[in-house]
Amino acid sequence: MTTTATGALLRRDGLARRRDPLYAVSLGFLGLVVLVAAFGPLLAPYPPDAIDFTAIWGSPSPAHLLGTDQLGRDLFSRLLLGTRESLIGPLALLAGATVIGVAIGLVAAWNGGWVDVLLARITDVMFAFPGLLFVVLVIAVFGKGPWTAVVALALAYAPVIAKFTRSIALSELARPYVDAYRVQGASAVHIAVRRVLPNMTPALLGYLVVLFGEGLMSLATLSYLGFGAQPPSSEWGLMVQEGQDGIVLGHFAPTLVPGLAIAAVVVAVNIVGVRLSERLGARA
């Protein structure tokens, strides 16, 4: 996409935000979340692991805006400081899955024939295998931890991205400019990486934004089950798991606060992703 086209797209996106308040609110909320992730340590009034046994299951107060958890830790501070970890994980897994998935999809679409059939069968086998079970098996082999969960989910998401990439690559490879570059003697790598891939980027970008929400939910689920982030982390999924004992005692904030944060980010990401995909696709 050229600089002129990109500028025109940004101007159209500005107009679209004014005409679509839900999109504008979601985009603004996500911008705020990114700022919190960047400056959370400066904004948090307490360290995330500061234990105060005199304030266990505390209600919201001027000292603790959202209350405290089962160890007397400030929920507001833990929510702010957990934002960065909760966002970095999905970004990392999408980066890994995108590299693998786009490579497989491009190779399959470009070569066709037995290469396409072989790669399609491999991705079909991975699709047939339950994703969560695959992730649990990887964690069982390499141990618990946030980065093990990220790698396992990246491998689980790669076939999804590969199939999507292959579908849009087949459409792109049918365009006349591809044959023109072939006639000029351009190499397959040059055409695929320097010409075809940039033209596929708008469709991929919108799809990946939506997948970010799914990745966030998946990592939070693994942390809730005890396979992802480990104490004393303030990752949101782990915060939900640690606060669930308080529900029986009538203390809902330790579970509700991080749970609402996850839900709000996922909903906002899905709204922005769908709108972005529609607009980038229309522009393309």
Q: What is the pLDDT of residues 183-200, one digit of tens each?
A: 888 888 888 888 888 888
What pLDDT, in 10s, does the model give residues 31-65? 999 999 999 889 999 998 899 888 899 999 999 99
Q: Is 80 exceeded by the pLDDT of residue 237? A: yes
Summarised one tens digit per residue, pLDDT across range 10-30 is 555 555 555 678 899 999 999
Is the pLDDT at 96 greater than 80? The verdict is: yes
Taking the C-alpha atoms of residue 77 and residue 80, their distance in angstroms, rounded to an integer, is 5
CB of 127 closer than 8 Å to CB of 183: no
Which pLDDT score is estimated for 137? 84
pLDDT higher than 90, residue 93: yes
121 token code pair: 């069968």
The pLDDT score that the predictor gives to residue 154 is: 92
Q: Which residue has the tokens 């005409």?
A: 19
SS (H, E, C) the chain: CCHHHHHHHHHHHHHHHHHCHHHHHHHHHHHHHHHHHHHHHHHCCCCCCCCCHHHCCCCCCCCCCCCECCCCCEHHHHHHHHHHHHHHHHHHHHHHHHHHHHHHHHHHHHHCHHHHHHHHHHHHHHHHCCHHHHHHHHHHHHCCCHHHHHHHHHHHHHHHHHHHHHHHHHHHHCCHHHHHHHHCCCCHHHHHHHHHHHHHHHHHHHHHHHHHHHHHHHHHHHHHHCCCCCCCCCCHHHHHHHHCHHHHCCCCHHHHHHHHHHHHHHHHHHHHHHHHHHHHHHHC
Global confidence as pTM: 0.85
